[in-house]
A = this chain, B = another copy of it.
Amino acid sequence: MSESVFADRLTRLIALSPDEHALLTGVEERERRVRRNGVLFSENDRVAELFVLRRGMMMSYVLLDDGSRQIQRFLFPGDLIATTSLVYAKAPDTVMAVHDSSLGAIDRQALADVVLRCPRIGLGLLALEQVERVAMSDRLAAVGRTSAKARVAALLLELRNRLRATAPAGIDSFAPGITQEEMGDATGLTAVHVNRMIRQLEEERLIGREGGRFTIRDEASLVRIANYIDRYAGLDMGWLTVRG
């Protein structure tokens, strides 16, 4: 793995030339570390840079004025954070570390310069954005139209798939390390009800648990009740041929 998680991720979508790769690696500058429960930035903060998550796990959320929280997404290594700073002066969400994390900070002007010099990187960013958007659509459909059990099942599947990317191979269990309260805030449920759904999934032998560690026991059934689709698989940018 090179120094730039970001360049690596982009390369997986669009083959970058060595020059492009170098340019992109060069722009990812300041390292930033955030400890568990530490806040990278808060809603309405003025943020003029983007971040790439290198190690750890974070989450993006908004607080409503009755105090409730909606977690919009969990963030994993390679994910881009605060891309909205390209357009909004103030952050629309808060980003907090779920586990100790380290990030690379990219000045938005510097990134814009790279894109201007190397437009294929702009296409790559656009591509990453699409994946995020579709994933968010799925979450909207889950929260709007599926049962509590289905939402919890979908969250577990998503967490497993994203964590598996960085986990040591051969282990089929995963430990997201988040509280049931956080699972609730991600799925639009209360912590109490999340707990009931988890235990129900456990009793039906769809999942297993020990400590904070989960095992998918019956993936087919789980996928079925969750309406789950893995959007990080099945990408296709092969059509993109570079013309003179």
The docked-state distance in angstroms from the alpha carbon of A137 to that of B240 is: 29
Please judge, given known A-B contacts A65-B227, A122-B126, whether A92 and B143 are in contact too, CB under 8 Å. no
Does A116 touch B at the CB level, under 8 Å?
Answer: yes
- Number of A positions contacting B (CB below 8 A): 60
Are A145 and B70 closer than 8 Å at their CB atoms? yes
A188: chain B residues at CB < 8 Å are 143-145
A178 within 8 A of B: no
Provide the A103-128 mask, 1 if CB < 8 A to any CB of B, else 0: 00000110011011111101101110
Q: Does A22 count as interface, using CB distance less than 8 angstroms?
A: no
CB of A12 closer than 8 Å to a CB of B: no
Question: Per a CB cutoff under 8 Å, which of B88, B109, B141, B227 touches A72?
Answer: B141
- The answer to whether A70 touches B134, judged by C-beta atoms less than 8 angstroms apart, is no
Q: Using Cβ atoms and an 8 Å threshold, which residues of chain B touch A122?
A: 115, 119, 122-123, 125-126
Using a CB–CB distance below 8 Å, which chain A residues touch chain B?
13, 48, 62, 64-65, 68-70, 72, 83-84, 86-89, 92-93, 108-109, 112-113, 115-120, 122-123, 125-127, 129-134, 136-137, 139-141, 143-146, 187-188, 227, 231, 234-237, 239-243
Whether the Cβ atoms of A62 and B126 lie closer than 8 Å is no
Task: Decide yes or no: A87 and B236 within 8 Å by CB, A122-B115, A126-B125, A137-B93 being known contacts.
Answer: yes
Which residues from B are CB-within-8-Å of A127?
Answer: 86-87
The 5 lowest CB-CB distance pairs between A and B, nearest first, are A144-B188, A122-B122, A119-B119, A70-B141, A87-B130
